[in-house]
A and B are shown apart, each in its own frame.
Chain A
Amino acid sequence: MSALGQLFDRFLGRGDWAVTVPTLDGPLLPNQELEDAETFAGLAEADNLVRTEKGILASSANRLTRFGAGGQAETLQEFPGEITALAHARGMTAVAIDGKGLVIRGGLYDGREATGDEARRLSCITALTFLDSNTLLVANGSASLPASAWRRDLMQKNASGSVWRLDLKSGRLDLVRDGLAWPAGIATTGSNRVYVTEAWRHRVLAVDLVTRATAPALEHLPAYPARIAPAFNAGYWLTFYSVRNQLVEFILREETFRKRMLAEVPEAYWMAPSLSSWRDYREPMQGSQLKQMNVLKPYAVTRSYGLVVHCDQNMKPLSSFHSRADGTVHGTLSACETGDDLLVASRGGSRIVRLPKVASGKRG
């Protein structure tokens, strides 16, 4: 009966075959605040914002950069691969290199590099968080692809991501949770629970580190969640790869087209979410993106988007900042507070923007 039901759903486009996407509404109501925000610093492939005592760390492809309060940049180090995640605690910076694993810079374990089993298992690190000065929580996006191939992982409908606990002293690697569809962000809560974003399933999970019990904390998001950064009110800043697109949802259910596209079309020209748009004339165009009177409408459907959501301590969305279809501050994968301001790194827009006073708790 369920097989028949599946066929019926498929024919009518219901159930699992529905290609509907939740709307941006309520606290996610679109605005142009990210687009209108002032530029803090220009940085190609800007990502992985982390606050340290000496300034703000950010990554630009394989370069680790530190910014002073005025936005002056200083390149700290170049790595052999793209930096995919950063974490900082007690003078110690954990750097994840795409396909290579974890490197520790400074502090107690300065110079520690991943080897053997650890390097093999953690080759697609998407997020890092210190549990304490000896223990790191690591999100590994996919078992088969590097972190830079996130589009391919989504379009292949993989669910091979995992979350690990790494003991830096002994090198012991404990599996917390696997079978995740691209975990891309981790945040601690002060209890045994941690929040993990599961991007391709559009949700945030609450995982208990002791019992391994997993429950969704925020579901049915209209976008693919990425990193989680702590916020001033014991809440969180949730960042996103891009918004969901009805056509992408449709293609994910069209096996032949999906597979042929992955095999025959260059990745830059896929009909898939991306971190930027309009870089090349061969990128696909959708109906509402057609410019009318030389204007691209902000409410057009889009493959790339800029979105940062402020959530409370229970992951309930409170407010949000957007850069819409007509904007460029897209692919906002990381955010961090500095004083009362919020910095947001936009990979698609190749810059870091500053949202002043949004982290002061005095927003009207």
Chain B
Amino acid sequence: MSMAESLVRWRYRLLPDHVVGEILTKKWIDSVIPFTALVILCAIFGSIVPGFFDVTTLTNLSGQTAELGLVVLGMTIVMVSGGIDLSVGSTFALAVLVTLYGMNVGQWSFGTGLLACLGLGVVCGAINGFLVGFLRMRAFLTTLVTLIIYRSTFDIVFPQVSTPIVTSGPDSPTYDFLGFGTIWGVPTSFVVFAVIALLIHLVLSRARYGWRLFAVGGARRSAYNAGINVRFTLFSAYVLCSVLVALSGFFFSARIGSAASDIGTGLELQVLTATVLGGISLGGGRGSVAKALMGTLFVLVLSNSLLALAVPGPVNYLILGLVLLLSVFLDVRWVKNRHKILRSVYISPTFAKMPQAISTAPGAPMAVNDRLKDVGVIGLGFLDGAEDVIFDRQDRLYTGSRQGDILRFKPPHYTESEVFAHIGGSPLGMAFDRDDNLVICVAGMGLYQVSPEGAVKLLTAETNRSLTSVVDDSTMKLADDCDILPDGRIVFSEATVRFEMHDWYADALESRGNGRIIVHDPRSGSTRTLLSNLVFPNGICTAFDGQSVLFAESWACRISRYYFDGPKKGRVERVIEGLPGYPDNINRASDGTYWLALMGMRTPALDLSLEMPGFRRRMARRVSEDAWLMPNLNTGCVLRFDEKGQILESLWDQAGEKHPMITSMREHKGVLYLCGIFNNRMGTLPLKGVDPNWFSSDSYWGKKA
């Protein structure tokens, strides 16, 4: 191996590129940019603003956070639902007016004041909500108009009551405690705010109402089609928003105790900056409480620090406006390009040098021939997605279909078929257990069992999560082939944890060890991973020795043996290396050997590219999937090998006329049955010189009386 090649090999072994893509699929990746911005902002102003980290500054900040934070949370709810509320500033002013008048002039009790204030919020929100939600008016224009209406109302009333407000004071200790008191050194209002924020977080992320809100904001028509009351959800979002704004006004009144005529003006700018900066999308459907809090803190830290640095108010607003503009720009770019970045980063091929292929020259056991050219046919033009085939004790033939059915064909001609069971996912490998239950791997769904009566039962769809996984890999993406150990445990392969079944070729392009072998114990119901980092583990077969299983790794072109029992328990040994094609299912043959399907053949051009991960990565980005270099799956082959890994014979359809891709084969009573998942037929080949009564369930479980 050359120096340069070793370098490439080690570079791909040490730097796991695929993790980048997996991190990008995480939901929290949206918050990374605002979080970084917040940290940088604190670092900058923390060093230049005097007393930035003083207790008084922080206490003051937390009090303001409570007030602005409530408004931002309200706006978050509206924005998640796909709308916008520009009238928050005016609603805030009205709430402050009502509270101050009631508490100071009217000498109301705390409860009455709070109720009156929140009631005002409900009224203002209901007007917005009714116009936008039920009358289907544009949120932007409608709330712009209500902004002016509410502000005008305030401007008319305020001069008439401003003097009494200033000259009198409230008479409620609870009210004062809310404004000035502390709980364990933290301002009361902040504690209340924290509780409310936590509650909203739970509702948005865990409760039915929150999910509906996201659904309405994300895809209004789909939400409607799914039966969600879109109009009411929108209405309620505006009401909630205004209630939170009113509460914020109540807090403000309790803290300040008076008001100026310009109160609440420009609040919407601050609030919008906070939400958009936090990463709450203007388009709706995306957002969280954490993001709202980050945005709030950013805005407060920025404006307070500018104030402390004696920057004039208009300049302060100018800067805030520019920040808003920048975050809107980033939001638009991010939402638009995120999936593009993810797509181009997710596929990360690795160095996978292939060993020299076993010779297929004339005379060798693997010599190319056309023995599969003239085989019998079952279900021509009817089968679609028959990956595997198996027989029961009445000689009935079972296979899967792409539509998610298990089909059963009647002997002896196998022309009539019926739907034996419907599972819903694409059925792949199959096996019969001791009690004649059919065990099936279903792509994207897990391991299933069908009783002889046709009752479908999920055995397992989850295994233990691996320690180093970035993305949760406990659920099964592509359970592929299964077999049953003598003690009844079911061992099965999961080809890849990184891709869905229809993206199998992306896994071929990566050629990394993304797959694993899992064992499920039906008695205890436990499932755990036996072996991981396997390169597309595919076929699996319990060996005749009762101590080991043979498994195929497709993209690595090799067969290995795993000992589950006996003196070598837990060890893995190579059985065949350097196959000229990509191995699929392995099944027992009547004479103590094994049948192996090669779903496709290796091509020198692709083998070369496997040594060049950078080439494949660029190809995945630049070239259309239609043109990607892929394993040659248009030429199929079946071979037989013995316990030692010696290849005994091979059966080819060189031109791929009838069996271009062979995914499985099974010997049953002297006939070899051939399957291809993308084929429109199943093939039958009578075998010469084999036991005409051999049947695989007998081989596993012995003859039944």
Contact = CB atoms under 8 A, between A and B. Distances in A.
Interface of A: 13, 19, 245-247, 250, 254, 256-257, 260-261, 264-266, 269-271, 278, 281-296, 300-301
B648 to A, nearest CB: 20
A290 B629 contact: no
Nearest to B657: A294
The 6 closest A-B pairs by CB, nearest first: A288-B626, A281-B635, A285-B632, A293-B680, A284-B605, A246-B627
Nearest to B635: A281
Given A284-B603, A286-B628, A291 B612 contact: no
A336 B483 CA distance: 62
Nearest to B634: A291
Given A264-B608, A293-B384, A293-B678, A278 B634 contact: yes
B160 interface: no
Given A254-B615, A286-B630, A289-B630, 9 more contacts: A256-B612, A260-B612, A261-B605, A264-B608, A266-B604, A281-B635, A290-B630, A293-B384, A300-B626
Contact of A257 (B368, B601, B608): B608
Interface stretch (B221-229, B346-354, B617-625): B617-625
A19 B624 CA distance: 10
B321 interface: no
Contact of B660 (A270, A271, A291): A291
A289 B628 CA distance: 10
A270 B605 contact: yes
B661 interface: yes
A265 B603 CA distance: 10
B634 A287 contact: no
A294 B658 contact: yes
Contacts of A294: 658, 660, 678-681
A247 B678 contact: no
A247 B629 contact: yes
A287 B368 contact: no
Given A246-B627, A294-B679, A289 B618 contact: no
Given A281-B601, A293-B679, A271 B622 contact: no
A270 B629 CA distance: 11
Interface string B654-695: 111010110000000000000000111100000000000000
B633 interface: yes
A109 B630 CA distance: 53
A163 B260 CA distance: 90
21 contacts: A13-B621, A246-B624, A247-B619, A247-B628, A247-B629, A250-B619, A250-B622, A257-B615, A266-B604, A281-B368, A281-B654, A283-B603, A285-B603, A285-B606, A286-B627, A287-B628, A288-B625, A289-B634, A291-B634, A291-B678, A291-B679
A287 B626 contact: yes
A289 B602 CA distance: 15
A300 to B, nearest CB: 7
Nearest to B632: A285
B631 interface: yes
A245 B627 contact: yes
Contacts of B602: 282
Contacts of B603: 269, 281-285
A284 B618 CA distance: 18
B627 A287 contact: yes
B631 A287 contact: no
B532 interface: no
A256 B615 contact: yes
B640 to A, nearest CB: 19
Nearest to B654: A281
Given A261-B608, A285-B632, A290 B678 contact: yes
A246 B621 CA distance: 12
Contacts of A261: 605, 608
Most buried by B among A256, A286, A301: A286
B505 interface: yes
A290 B618 contact: no
A250 B629 CA distance: 11
A290 B679 contact: no
Contacts of B631: 285
A288 B608 CA distance: 21
B4 to A, nearest CB: 10
B603 to A, nearest CB: 5
A291 B627 contact: no
Given A250-B619, A286-B629, A269 B680 contact: no
Nearest to B368: A281
A287 B629 CA distance: 7
A270 B568 CA distance: 44
B109 interface: no
B688 to A, nearest CB: 25
B222 to A, nearest CB: 30
Most buried by B among A260, A271, A281: A281
A265 B604 contact: yes
B623 A19 contact: yes
A8 B603 CA distance: 33
Nearest to B602: A282
B168 interface: no
Given A291-B634, A293-B679, A294-B660, A260 B608 contact: yes
A283 B618 CA distance: 22
A261 B626 CA distance: 21
Contacts of A246: 623-624, 626-627
Contacts of A254: 615, 618
B702 to A, nearest CB: 39
Contact of A285 (B623, B634, B679): B634
B437 interface: no
Nearest to B384: A293
A264 B601 CA distance: 19
A4 B618 CA distance: 20
Nearest to A246: B627
Given A19-B622, A250-B619, A256-B615, A291 B609 contact: no
Nearest to A270: B605
Contacts of A245: 627
A300 B660 CA distance: 16
Contacts of A247: 619, 623, 627-629
A284 B626 contact: no
Nearest to A287: B628
Nearest to B611: A260
A257 B606 CA distance: 11
A269 B632 CA distance: 12
Contacts of A289: 630, 634
Given A296-B634, A300-B626, A278 B655 contact: yes
Contacts of B634: 278, 285, 289-291, 296
B629 A271 contact: yes
A301 B679 contact: no
A300 B608 CA distance: 23
Contacts of B629: 247, 271, 284-286
Contacts of B661: 290-291
A284 B635 CA distance: 11
A269 B625 contact: no
A292 B632 CA distance: 13
Nearest to A266: B604
